[in-house]
Structure 1
């Protein structure tokens, strides 16, 4: 019971911390006059990955590579199959060709790059530098391509929440950033404690827990943003949020984690899970390429695939 309470408490703190960090960062970006579309990509997409970042870094420093890597792989699978699948089931998702050609391509290349770099069973510091350099190159490319786009092509509102819900002064923005980070750090510690305790109590491997419970728990900010976007008919935000989050998970989170502590990639993650991550990325891009939309039927297919993945994680592959 203590482990369950710790796990739920950690997820709650991670969600609150992610919300505080994202809203404060959005407000700060607006005060700096950053492009709305670029802010949506970097702050909403990358900002909602803050829980994954803190959990994976802590797991790496505590020499728990299965959770550090499993959290990222599981989050990317869940982001596509669970979050976009559920979102499309509620309302068909559309996207812009620019996002598909740029962000979708980078997500696929990041996934393939991770698999290639980990073929020897280890993500070392040199691999980490390659991943982080890829993230920097992507950010420069995204910024420059957005500057070349006519202002009329930018969505009317890519930031989801109403301005009244975001801090308005510089002091409040600073407090929100610090409080959000503190909640993320505390929540990650609680979540790791509860997740590892549950794994030991049930006889499950840390890899299974990292790929499922931890991954889904740290993806709650992405889930919240995508569902709100769909309900408000901002389908492009839902898709962009997930593409940006998956890119940051692979290039940023694994890059930082592996730089701090080399990570071992072995067992079921190397033999099975990373290929499911690649298959889910390919399926999403294939679905979006047919008419620049994700239909309800395609969303149902993604959800069905995620159900099979979770069942396999807790049975044959555990």
Structure 2
């Protein structure tokens, strides 16, 4: 981002500094005044640069190109950061003997939820709680309608008993808790603690399942497992750092561009930020679907929707109360429940999500976005 600050410095110097230098060489009698003007321009450029360095949210005024570059750069960094985080976290998880479905619903789901956490928390604290709430509700709908839909179109997804019986109920519970706790128009500290308590219960259930799986692993299988390394830990750390920077850029660019066009913070969160933060889930699930790893794809979506509400909304609500507008209770909350119910129904019917199901979910998401337009 300091590149834009440096650009501002260059602009400040150009509009007078260098011009004054050439003029003074042509007119010695005016050298002193030109020199003073040149120094003033340089100081002005330095002031802009320092202001940009001190205020991460500051963007250069003028053309929307800067905001578009911030959005594109933010999404790219979110994707790169999530890929690093997924790679490192997956290697660490496989080193302790986790299965594909468990890795998808825990490690990868939590890793790909990190963009939502950073965007929602930073957005709620620095801009508006509508940003955080909109990003989560929109991201959960996008995970079902877009991520699960496109993955199923690429290849039908078989649903394992573990995901269906142990993980899907928590996804339904998370959606019901968010709607129930937010129906009074506010998700406060106590509500956030309730969500975090549900997260602890989910984590405990997963860990208990992991312990059962590990006890069934033979010594021969343990010897064949890869060893966890410091490199994997470093990859995870770098991924988190890149996610922080990417979320900052995405918030700045999306907020500035759509606010200038007259859109509300809630609409920004439900569309641009929700889509941007869902890209890691989409990338991970699509790659898994292409490789025929259905458990990974489904587990990623289910786990992400659980963590989005229980972890992200829970943490944000503890940090700062989240206001829930009447329009959210009237449209976005019901839409979240409908998409969740439809997805669960598809999973229960034949224990798979077919290509037709995927097309229905994808079209449904398109309708959802269309209805959001003012």
Task: Tell me, yes or no, if the aligned pair for 2:97 and 2:214 is still in contact at 8 Å.
Answer: no
289, 296, 310: which one aligns with 1:230? 289
Q: Report whether the alignment pairs 1:290 with 2:349.
A: yes
Q: Report whether the alignment pairs 1:71 with 2:139.
A: no
Greater RCO structure (CA 8 Å; 6+ sep): 1
Larger Rg: 2
Does the C-alpha gap of structure 1 residues 151 and 80 become closer, same or farther in structure 2, counting only changes over 3 Å?
farther
Shift of 1:36: 3.0
CA deviation string 1:34-73 (max 9, x = no partner): 5234333211111111111110110121151111011000
Residue number in structure 2 paired with 1:183:
242
Task: Tell me, yes or no, if the aligned pair for 2:185 and 2:326 is still in contact at 8 Å.
Answer: no
Distance 1:196 1:73 in 2: 17
Shift of 1:15: 0.9
Residue number in structure 2 paired with 1:24:
88
Distance 1:34 1:70 in 2: 36
Distance 1:2 1:302 in 2: 34
Shift of 1:197: 1.0
Does the C-alpha gap of structure 1 residues 61 and 150 become closer, same or farther in structure 2, counting only changes over 3 Å?
closer
322, 329, 333: which one aligns with 1:263? 322
Distance 1:223 1:39 in 2: 16
Shift of 1:174: 3.3
Shift of 1:98: 2.5
Does the C-alpha gap of structure 1 residues 203 and 299 become closer, same or farther in structure 2, counting only changes over 3 Å?
same
Shift of 1:101: 1.8
Shift of 1:193: 0.6
CA deviation string 1:246-287 (max 9, x = no partner): 000000000111111111111422221111011000000001
Task: Tell me, yes or no, if the aligned pair for 1:118 and 1:265 is still in contact at 8 Å.
Answer: yes
User: Unaligned 5+ residue runs, structure 2?
Assistant: 1-64, 218-224
CA deviation string 1:184-234 (max 9, x = no partner): 111111100111112112211111111111101111110011101110111
Distance 1:181 1:49 in 2: 11
Moved more, 173-182 or 14-23: 173-182
User: TM (normalized to structure 2)?
Assistant: 0.77
Q: Give the CA RMSD over aligned residues.
A: 2.1
Residue number in structure 2 paired with 1:157:
none
Task: Tell me, yes or no, if the aligned pair for 1:60 and 1:258 is still in contact at 8 Å.
Answer: no
CA deviation string 1:70-106 (max 9, x = no partner): 1000000000001111111111111112211221111
Q: Report whether the alignment pairs 1:92 with 2:156.
A: yes
Q: Report whether the alignment pairs 1:216 with 2:216.
A: no
Distance 2:268 2:372 in 1: 9
Residue number in structure 2 paired with 1:196:
255
Distance 1:256 1:150 in 2: 31
Distance 2:206 2:175 in 1: 18
CA deviation string 1:157-179 (max 9, x = no partner): xxxxxx99xx9731x23322222
User: TM (normalized to structure 1)?
Assistant: 0.90
Q: Report whether the alignment pairs 1:36 with 2:95.
A: no
Residue number in structure 1 paired with 2:77:
13
State the aligned residue count: 302
Task: Tell me, yes or no, if the aligned pair for 2:89 and 2:108 is still in contact at 8 Å.
Answer: no
